[in-house]
Amino acid sequence: MVAENRGGGNRAFWPVVGFVLALALGAISYILSPVAIQYVVPQLNNGQMPYDQLVVAVAGVIFLILGAIVVLIIAAAVPKNRNPMDKISEKELLEQRALRNKRRVAKKKRELDMKKQSRK
């Protein structure tokens, strides 16, 4: 018998996909950092930082920016989890609680009645 797929079967691979995505963003950032250094950083860096460290620092900033963009896209694209408890109103919860309390009181009363009858 084939199990019904409810759309969550591929969740086991999400960490792997995230790791591959992080590697890809890191590579893109490292490749784009010399271009960013050429156009943006000359105004900011007065030769205080060695070029190799500057490449890594700029690549880190680009990585964070690209990562934030990807996270926003994923957050917008992933469907919201449909929890059946979200549809229950406060009034229904109070009614269910009152019903449970009535049943509990009735059960205690039955138990007391049974104890009284067994003593006779």
pLDDT of 2 reads: 47
Cα dihedral sign for 37, 41, 46, 52? Answer: negative
Digit-coded pLDDT (tens) for 10-65: 778 889 999 999 999 999 999 999 998 888 877 766 677 888 888 899 999 999 99
Mean pLDDT of the chain: 84
Q: Say if CB 86 and CB 64 are below 8 A apart.
A: no
Structure tokens at 26: 């890191």
Q: What is the average pLDDT across 94-106?
A: 93
Q: Where are the domains of the chain?
A: 13-79, 87-120
d(CA 56, CA 25): 13
